[in-house]
């Protein structure tokens, strides 16, 4: 008993250490950049688009996004491709469900739940002295690339976009939302910005900010979001999937499948079980009596 208690205490200490380690290593993600909040007071607002080492300044990926009430729900699609061109994961609850049931699904549901392209880039927000991530759709990245192309064509002095990035300007559009209207060669090099900044000392890893690890924790979160989507847009499928988890007897009552039989669901007799014991051993006799008198 003393040895057993000792083992339990050691396991408890290890668990506490692992939990503390997990807390200390908990990742802090970058804040999102929202230009709409800045163009309300500044119609000439700009940020620094940061470069990525040996790659494009933005990262393309796919996600599932839908609206429930006034709230948008998002789930990363693990059928996105990484920088190496390979598919990141081996499953996606949204894509798999749509593929398996596309003949029965409402076309509107398919449209709402299918994967869409998204693009993420890193920007240095001069206004708050902070590196933030800026997410745009296909139209947004097209506007940025068009503004950059115009800048490179009109700029007399060449500058290295891949090492210094560029300044991106926003103004309030007719819709009331922020619009990209020009890109310019930056007037300050990144080393000088980092030198004078309190928060910006290195360019973060954009992939780590966008692509979650393909593990049980990430999949659990995505499945939870998927289940919410199905319960909202296709409740009949949600009920059907739950019903199919159990077989039914001739009266329509749910019963457990044979391969999932649970012995604790029925009484069973242990009196016929032969147990080789020493009748003079009081401890063993106590156990035998307990087994005989055991109830459901």
pLDDT tens for the chain, residues 1 to 296: 777 666 666 666 566 555 444 443 566 899 999 999 999 999 899 999 999 987 899 999 999 999 998 899 999 999 999 888 899 999 999 999 999 998 999 999 999 999 999 999 999 999 999 999 999 999 999 999 999 999 999 877 778 889 999 999 999 999 899 999 999 999 899 999 999 999 999 999 999 999 999 999 999 999 999 999 999 998 888 656 555 544 444 444 444 444 444 444 444 343 444 444 444 555 666 666 666 666 54
Domain boundary (235, 265, 287) is at 235
Residue span of the structural domain in which 284 resides:
252-296
> Could you tell me if 89 and 230 lie in one domain?
yes
**Contact residues for 90 (Cβ-Cβ < 8 A; gap 6+):** 78, 214
> Could you tell me if 227 and 122 lie in one domain?
yes
Q: Helix, strand or coil for residue 67?
A: strand
On whether residue 113 sits in a domain, the answer given is: yes
The vertex-149 CA angle with 186 and 176, nearest 5°, equals 80
> Could you tell me if 159 and 277 lie in one domain?
no
> Could you tell me if 186 and 259 lie in one domain?
no
- Strand positions, DSSP E, the chain: 45-49, 58-68, 71-76, 116-125, 130-136, 166-172, 178-184, 247-248, 254-255
> Could you tell me if 87 and 231 lie in one domain?
yes
Domain boundary (209, 235, 261) is at 235
On whether residue 8 sits in a domain, the answer given is: no
> Could you tell me if 128 and 46 lie in one domain?
yes
On whether residue 70 sits in a domain, the answer given is: yes
> Could you tell me if 49 and 176 lie in one domain?
yes
On whether residue 271 sits in a domain, the answer given is: yes
Structure tokens at 2: 């003393």
> Could you tell me if 205 and 269 lie in one domain?
no
- Strand positions, DSSP E, 159-208: 166-172, 178-184
Report the b/e string of 44-67 with b at 16+ CB within 10 A.
Answer: ebbbbbbbbeeeebbbebbbbbbe
Q: How many domains does the chain have?
A: 2
Give the domain CATH number at 148.
Answer: 3.90.198.10
> Could you tell me if 275 and 150 lie in one domain?
no
On whether residue 97 sits in a domain, the answer given is: yes
> Could you tell me if 64 and 186 lie in one domain?
yes
> Could you tell me if 154 and 284 lie in one domain?
no
On whether residue 12 sits in a domain, the answer given is: no
pTM of the entire structure? 0.71
> Could you tell me if 195 and 256 lie in one domain?
no
């Amino acid at each position: 008993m003393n040895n057993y208690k000792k083992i339990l205490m050691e396991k408890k200490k290890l668990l506490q250490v692992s939990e503390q380690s997990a807390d200390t290593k908990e990742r802090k993600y970058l804040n999102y950049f929202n230009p709409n909040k800045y163009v309300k007071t500044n119609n000439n607002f700009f940020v620094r688009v940061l470069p990525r080492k040996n790659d494009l300044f933005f990262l393309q990926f796919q996600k599932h996004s839908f609206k429930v009430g006034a709230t948008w729900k998002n789930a990363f699609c693990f059928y996105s491709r990484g920088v190496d061109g390979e598919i990141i994961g081996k499953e996606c609850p949204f894509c798999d469900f749509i593929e398996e049931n596309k003949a029965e699904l409402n076309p509107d549901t398919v449209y709402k739940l299918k994967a869409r392209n998204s693009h993420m880039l890193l920007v240095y927000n001069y206004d708050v002295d902070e590196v933030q991530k800026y997410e745009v759709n296909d139209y947004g990245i097209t506007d940025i690339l068009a503004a950059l192309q115009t800048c490179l064509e009109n700029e007399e002095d060449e500058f290295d976009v891949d090492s210094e990035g560029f300044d991106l300007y926003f103004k309030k559009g007719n819709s009331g939302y922020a619009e990209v209207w020009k890109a310019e060669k930056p007037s300050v090099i990144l080393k000088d910005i980092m030198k004078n900044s309190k928060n910006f000392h290195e360019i973060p890893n954009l992939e780590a900010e966008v692509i979650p690890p393909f593990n049980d924790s990430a999949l659990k979160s995505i499945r939870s979001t998927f289940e919410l989507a199905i319960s909202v847009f296709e409740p009949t499928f949600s009920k059907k999937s739950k019903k199919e988890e159990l077989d039914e007897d001739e009266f329509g009552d749910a019963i457990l499948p044979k391969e999932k039989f649970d012995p604790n669901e029925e009484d069973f007799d242990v009196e016929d079980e032969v147990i080789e014991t020493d009748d003079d051993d009081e401890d063993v006799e106590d156990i035998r009596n307990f087994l005989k008198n055991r109830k459901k």
